[in-house]
């Protein structure tokens, strides 16, 4: 495991921070973050970030599917024939997505309708496939769970940050509660599709600036 630059591993302190699991987790959460590190899974990051509630539900759905999918693949890695592994991944992830989609339809019907096809599109989300192919297929279960949690929470962190600024500027609210005074008109640009691109571009710019400063 390479010691990533800028990763502050305390010499003294909690033992948790020095374990391999933690390094793998931080790797997915920050250094190889799906959105700004590897530029994967942008479709949903752009589409569902207009409201924080949508982004939260979407992030939770992705985290659950990613962790369960990676775990199943890690357990079955000696059983899955190498030549048909892609098809095996797809069948597993489709089954999980059907389950999660039905649960969302039951428990949060309004948000499920707002998310539209984007929950089903988790099937073709590059993050799920990428983690399965790059990590789960040749690593033990424990490490795989840390890796999937790191990548999933990294995705969630990016989505929630973008959604925070898009909802605040586009609607003047957070989780549906109005926070800016009624007399101020929100900048509707950030609630429509072009605003999503601007928000994502700016987010990547800021994160890269922070990463560069920390690397120095």
Partner 1 sequence: MNLALILFASIITSNIALTYFLGMCPFVSISKNIRVASGMGIAVTIVMTVTASANWLILNKVLIPMGLQYLQFLVFIITIATLVQIIEIFLDRFSPALYHAFGIFLPLITVNCAILGVSLFAMLRVYTFWQTVAFAFGSGIGWFLAIIAIGGLRKKLMFADPPENFGAAGITAILAGIMALAFIGFTGIASL
Nearest to 20 by CA among 152, 154, 147: 147
Q: Does 39 bind partner 1 (CB under 8 A)?
A: yes
Options 51, 58, 65, 97; binder of partner 1; rule CB under 8 A = 97
Q: Does 81 bind partner 1 (CB under 8 A)?
A: no
Identify which of residues 187 and 209 has a Cβ nearer to partner 1 in the complex: 209
Options 24, 46, 51, 57; binder of partner 1; rule CB under 8 A = 46
Q: Does 64 bind partner 1 (CB under 8 A)?
A: no
Please state, in angstroms and rounded to a whole number, the distance separating the CA atoms of residues 193 and 45. Answer: 12
| φ, ψ of residue 71 in degrees (nearest 5) | -65, -45
Identify which of residues 103 and 179 has a Cβ nearer to partner 1 in the complex: 103
Identify which of residues 75 and 98 has a Cβ nearer to partner 1 in the complex: 98
What's the token pair of residue 152? 């999933």
* Contact window for partner 1 (CB under 8 A) among 13-21, 75-83, 98-106, 166-174: 98-106
8 Å CB contact between 115 and 54:
yes
Report in angstroms how near the CB of residue 144 gets to partner 1 at its nearest. Answer: 21
Please state, in angstroms and rounded to a whole number, the distance separating the CA atoms of residues 194 and 25. Answer: 33
Please state, in angstroms and rounded to a whole number, the distance separating the CA atoms of residues 53 and 176. Answer: 8
Binding mask 126-145 vs partner 1 (x if CB under 8 A, - otherwise)?
A: x--x----------------
Q: Does 194 bind partner 1 (CB under 8 A)?
A: yes
Identify which of residues 146 and 161 has a Cβ nearer to partner 1 in the complex: 161
Q: Which residue has the tokens 């279960």?
A: 141
CA 175 to mean position of chain CA atoms? 19
# residues contacting partner 1 (CB under 8 A)? 41
Q: Does 208 bind partner 1 (CB under 8 A)?
A: yes
| φ, ψ of residue 70 in degrees (nearest 5) | -60, -40
- Work out the burial of residue 183: count CB atoms within 10 Å of its CB; fewer than 13 is exposed, 13-18 middle, 19 or more buried: exposed
CA 120 to mean position of chain CA atoms? 15
Binding interface with partner 1 (CB under 8 A) = 36, 39-40, 42-44, 46-47, 87, 90-91, 94-95, 97-98, 101-102, 116-117, 120-121, 123-126, 129, 192-198, 200-202, 204-205, 208-209, 212
């Amino acid at each position: 495991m390479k010691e990533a630059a800028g990763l502050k591993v305390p010499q003294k302190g909690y033992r948790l921070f020095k374990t391999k699991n933690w390094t793998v987790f931080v790797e997915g959460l920050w250094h190889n973050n799906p959105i700004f590190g590897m530029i994967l899974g942008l479709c949903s990051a752009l589409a569902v970030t207009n409201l924080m509630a949508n982004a939260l539900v979407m992030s939770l759905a992705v985290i659950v599917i990613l962790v369960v999918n990676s775990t199943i693949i890690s357990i079955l890695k000696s059983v899955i024939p190498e030549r048909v592994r892609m098809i095996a991944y797809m069948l597993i992830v489709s089954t999980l997505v059907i389950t999660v989609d039905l649960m969302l339809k039951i428990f949060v019907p309004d948000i499920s309708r707002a998310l539209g096809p984007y929950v089903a599109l988790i099937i073709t989300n590059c993050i799920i496939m990428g983690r399965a192919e790059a990590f789960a297929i040749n690593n033990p279960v424990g490490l795989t769970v840390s890796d999937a949690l790191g990548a999933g929470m990294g995705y969630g962190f990016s989505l929630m940050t973008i959604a925070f600024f898009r909802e605040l500027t586009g609607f003047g609210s957070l989780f549906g509660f109005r926070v800016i005074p009624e007399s101020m008109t929100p900048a509707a640009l950030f609630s429509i599709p072009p605003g999503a691109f601007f928000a994502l571009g700016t987010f990547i710019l800021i994160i890269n600036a922070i990463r560069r400063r920390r690397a120095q």
